[in-house]
Structure 1
Amino acid sequence: MQPGRFLCAIAVTCSLSACAQTGLFATKDSPDTAPRSNFAQTGTAQSEVIQTLLERRSLLSPDSAFGEVAEAALAASARAAEAELISAKLRAEAASKNWLPTLGPSVSLTDLGDVVAGLLIEQVLFDNGRRKAEREFAAADVEVAAVNLSQDMNGRVETAVGLYVAALRGDEKAAYGERALRRMQEFRRIVQGRVDGGVSDHSDLNVVDSKISGIRTTTATARDDAATARAELQAMTGQEFKRAATHLGIATPPSQAQFLSVLKASAEANRTIAEAKAGRAGLLPQISAAGNATTDGSGAGLTLDMAQPLGLGTPAAMQALEASKEAAKRQVSEAEEAARRTYSRQMQQIASLQRQEAETAALVRRSRETYELFQKQFEAGQRPVMEVIQVYEELVRREQAYIDAKYEAVLIQLQLARDLGLLADGDKI
């Protein structure tokens, strides 16, 4: 090989190696320049989907108990989806350089049995857009991985905060059950005295014991539910949290927020369309320029080749690829419809539970007033104790229903915020 040609080949090799170290997505950064978020983008090409994820803000107040639980859940995550996103970024980085010439060894055997070694440089001049489609596919693959990461992190926060809410509900129901048990025990003492005095039948005592047993079972169940949720939350985050939340509300999501499922469907559709474009281009011929430098000399020329040979089924294969594009677009429409239905259902559930909370609160007030009135009448000898016990039991049931409605509304709000990707700040994922 002539020295000039050999140096030229080395220069091309070095330039390709240098190009491989830079690109659209940064994979290694110094501590001073490392982005805080996996959604941070570098280079001129910016993804609108990833930028949308980066700009999302959590509906949980950072200085609240919910915000504390959410931060701990994110910090303790194994982040398997993060590794998938990094892998997708690296694939996109590799695909972004597919338009550059390729360099590889060339080894051939002559008629005389001699081995001729050299370097083969090939540059695609026209490929019907196949390499461009491959770059689009890799970029869309990054978007899909980014949405997956956002879904994973928001789902993790929803699970952690949901466990915290379940623990609070169990604590509150157990605490109220303990108070109800003490009051029912006092009623039992009164009934026991009436039975011992021959004023009441022993069946009245059995009725009171049955009511006490029911309240005791409900209280124990609530206590167990709280302990289970708290143990699971500690196993998830490695932390313990305070047992009382000062505020249970969640901020209202913005009206323009889009469901993560729709973003994912859109990114997957773009990926499918890019794959179809690349597949169609693979069925058509491409023109390349190739140069070969060997120990016996060098040569250059144009080549016309096809990734797949033409056949009678080629037209149908191309039609199938076009049909896959239409199917991808329809899947986005289906995802949008499903998101609208889910949003409407969740909003109706929230409104219903908030209405139930207000109604049960009003019922609790009326039941308490009725109980206090019956209690006074009993003390004045105008009411039998069994009627007072029945009214008090109704008050206990309504109090428990009020607690359930209050916390169920919070859980539905968490689900809606999770689906919208609004439980974790985009720059903290």
Structure 2
Amino acid sequence: MPNLHSKYFRFGALCPGLMALSVTLLAACVPGAGQGVTKMGFGRGAAPADPPTAQLSRQGEVTSSLIDELQSRRSILDPAGPYGQVASAVLDAGAGVAAAELRVARLKAEAKSKNWLPKIGPDVSLTSLGTLAASILIDQALFDGGARKAERAYAAADVEVAAITLATETNNRVYAGLKQYLAALRATDQAMVSERSVSRLTEFERIMRLRVEGGLSDRSEERVLSQKLAEMQAMASADRQSAANARAELAAMTSRSLAGISGLQVLPQDQGAPEPLAVIKSRGEGQRTLAEAQLARAQLLPGVNATARVGEDGVHGGLGLSGGNFDFGSSATREAIEATPDLVDRRNAQAAEDANRRITALASEMQSLQSREAQGAEVLRQTAANLSMFTEQYKVGRRSLLELVQQYESFAHAERDQVALKYLSADLRLQIALERGALVDGARM
């Protein structure tokens, strides 16, 4: 009876088939080896099945429902519209870091897809006679408690997470570009309002100066008007600077000029789909966590390896026992592993709740802004009517010039605020699309 306490023991007499199988593998790697030995196809069996959510083929190809769902997504941006053109320019100039990470994850998965095959390598040892003995060692896992299956599942889930990260970063980049585009448009429109106000206040200042020279007004009124003019000039300058900064940042993100693109684009209402990217990412990370737990469980179980060593003295077969180590924390480790699926479910539920809350909050804020825009338009109309009335009353001497200036100042600020509302509402709609990952076509990523 062989000594089971040693790492390997000779078992050729007990299992002659294993020796022949090992030589078969060696014959595939070293021409001429193993001739005359019956081939039994050692290692030719199918790899164990991977988790249904992400499968890893022998060629290292990952098939995943999550990745298929991402690729089937369609952008809400019209490619021919201004948003679509900005998005295309921003994507073309991207560094592609997330895409490179996805490629690395795919290559790792391809490597792990072959982990069920035996390992073949040289084995060099120093004999008791002081000479070196070289041989070729073939090591094949017969039982590993599902460790290699868990490794493949982890690699496949890692590809899923990398794909979701790519979708998230691509949508984030498009949103960042569109946000700068909206900021440039908003600042430009507000600058136009401010510049019109500056022009009007300049004319009022000229009239006030003539009135002061004629003794109809005092210097205090002129100083008040000059202060209001200076404030409006500073506001116009700040608007122009904000527009220039936004255009410069957008130009740094793109690969071509966007000088001829302007205007807003009407986007469809949120239909409650597709599923937010944060929820999909949580599911992908959950599959990876489950694979880690499966690997940890397998490491608690003993494993059996078959070896075949081919050297100058012939072919030797052996079995190796590994793993199955027990310590005083093993029980708690097993309990932690068993609790992992519940943790994953709770994380997924929390991610879904958080994403829905964010979308609901954004939609509510957008509706509030749209209501404010409608109300503001009515207020602006009434303010314009009052300004016209004040102008007529000033012409007939019933209102002072300073009262007219104050009324016009109120109108200018209301008009400037009204301009901002439509851009804030457009930005909120883009944020909802960002949450759902609907700014970029899946085929584009």
The two structures have a TM-score, normalised by structure 1, of: 0.88
- Determine the structure 1 residue equivalent to 2:407: 391
The whole-number CA distance in structure 1 between the counterparts of 2:261 and 2:442 is: 28
> Which residue, 438, 441, 445 being the options, matches 1:422?
438
- Structure 2 vs 1, CA of residues 244 and 131 (structure 1 numbering), >3 Å: closer, same or farther? closer
- Determine the structure 2 residue equivalent to 1:135: 152
Q: Deviations along 1:79-109, whole A, 9 cap, x unmatched?
A: 1111111111111111111111221222233
Aligned residue identity for 1:298: V
- Determine the structure 2 residue equivalent to 1:248: 265
Aligned to 1:46, the other structure's residue is in SS state: strand
> Which residue, 76, 89, 106 being the options, matches 2:106?
89
Structure 1 residue 358 corresponds to structure 2 residue 410: no
Aligned residue identity for 2:306: A
- Determine the structure 2 residue equivalent to 1:288: 305
- Determine the structure 1 residue equivalent to 2:53: none
Deviation of 1:10 after TM superposition, in Å, equals: 4.3
Aligned residue identity for 1:296: D
Aligned residue identity for 1:196: E
Aligned to 2:63, the other structure's residue is in SS state: coil
Aligned residue identity for 2:437: G
- Determine the structure 2 residue equivalent to 1:368: 384
Deviation of 1:138 after TM superposition, in Å, equals: 0.6
Deviation of 1:404 after TM superposition, in Å, equals: 1.3
The whole-number CA distance in structure 1 between the counterparts of 2:214 and 2:146 is: 99
Structure 1 residue 149 corresponds to structure 2 residue 166: yes
The whole-number CA distance in structure 2 between the counterparts of 1:144 and 1:330 is: 18
Aligned residue identity for 1:382: R
The whole-number CA distance in structure 2 between the counterparts of 1:120 and 1:296 is: 13
The whole-number CA distance in structure 1 between the counterparts of 2:132 and 2:408 is: 100
The whole-number CA distance in structure 2 between the counterparts of 1:217 and 1:244 is: 28
- Structure 2 vs 1, CA of residues 385 and 243 (structure 1 numbering), >3 Å: closer, same or farther? farther
- Structure 2 vs 1, CA of residues 5 and 144 (structure 1 numbering), >3 Å: closer, same or farther? closer
- Determine the structure 2 residue equivalent to 1:76: 93
- Determine the structure 1 residue equivalent to 2:17: none
- Determine the structure 1 residue equivalent to 2:360: 344
- Determine the structure 1 residue equivalent to 2:213: 196
Aligned residue identity for 1:410: A
Deviation of 1:335 after TM superposition, in Å, equals: 1.2
- Structure 2 vs 1, CA of residues 398 and 333 (structure 1 numbering), >3 Å: closer, same or farther? same
> Which residue, 211, 226, 240 being the options, matches 2:243?
226
- Determine the structure 2 residue equivalent to 1:185: 202
Deviation of 1:424 after TM superposition, in Å, equals: 1.2
Aligned to 2:265, the other structure's residue is in SS state: coil
The two structures have a TM-score, normalised by structure 2, of: 0.85
Is the contact between residue 81 and residue 152 of structure 1 (CA under 8 Å) also seen in structure 2? Answer: yes
Is the contact between residue 120 and residue 139 of structure 2 (CA under 8 Å) also seen in structure 1? Answer: yes
Counterparts of residues 44-63 of structure 1 (less than 5 Å): 45-63=62-80
Is the contact between residue 117 and residue 294 of structure 1 (CA under 8 Å) also seen in structure 2? Answer: yes
- Determine the structure 2 residue equivalent to 1:109: 126
**Gaps (5+ residues) in structure 2?**
1-20, 32-40, 43-49, 51-58
Is the contact between residue 61 and residue 110 of structure 2 (CA under 8 Å) also seen in structure 1? Answer: no
> Which residue, 289, 301, 304 being the options, matches 2:321?
304
- Determine the structure 1 residue equivalent to 2:15: none
- Determine the structure 2 residue equivalent to 1:28: none
Deviation of 1:110 after TM superposition, in Å, equals: 3.2
Deviation of 1:13 after TM superposition, in Å, equals: 7.1
- Structure 2 vs 1, CA of residues 165 and 124 (structure 1 numbering), >3 Å: closer, same or farther? same
The whole-number CA distance in structure 2 between the counterparts of 1:390 and 1:13 is: 95
Structure 1 residue 118 corresponds to structure 2 residue 118: no
Aligned to 1:255, the other structure's residue is in SS state: coil
Deviation of 1:284 after TM superposition, in Å, equals: 0.5
Is the contact between residue 140 and residue 268 of structure 1 (CA under 8 Å) also seen in structure 2? Answer: yes
The whole-number CA distance in structure 2 between the counterparts of 1:305 and 1:43 is: 27
Deviation of 1:216 after TM superposition, in Å, equals: 0.8
> Which residue, 271, 289, 302 being the options, matches 1:272?
289
The whole-number CA distance in structure 2 between the counterparts of 1:291 and 1:119 is: 8
Aligned residue identity for 1:56: R
The whole-number CA distance in structure 1 between the counterparts of 2:216 and 2:177 is: 55
The whole-number CA distance in structure 2 between the counterparts of 1:320 and 1:355 is: 51
- Structure 2 vs 1, CA of residues 149 and 78 (structure 1 numbering), >3 Å: closer, same or farther? same
Aligned residue identity for 2:397: G
The whole-number CA distance in structure 2 between the counterparts of 1:62 and 1:124 is: 54
The whole-number CA distance in structure 1 between the counterparts of 2:361 and 2:239 is: 28
Is the contact between residue 88 and residue 138 of structure 1 (CA under 8 Å) also seen in structure 2? Answer: yes
The whole-number CA distance in structure 1 between the counterparts of 2:360 and 2:227 is: 43
- Determine the structure 2 residue equivalent to 1:409: 425
Aligned to 2:163, the other structure's residue is in SS state: helix
The whole-number CA distance in structure 2 between the counterparts of 1:246 and 1:172 is: 11
**Gaps (5+ residues) in structure 1?**
17-23, 25-41
Deviation of 1:5 after TM superposition, in Å, equals: 8.3
- Structure 2 vs 1, CA of residues 274 and 6 (structure 1 numbering), >3 Å: closer, same or farther? closer
- Determine the structure 1 residue equivalent to 2:56: none
The percent of aligned pairs where both chains have the same amino acid is 38
The whole-number CA distance in structure 1 between the counterparts of 2:300 and 2:23 is: 36
The whole-number CA distance in structure 1 between the counterparts of 2:154 and 2:115 is: 12
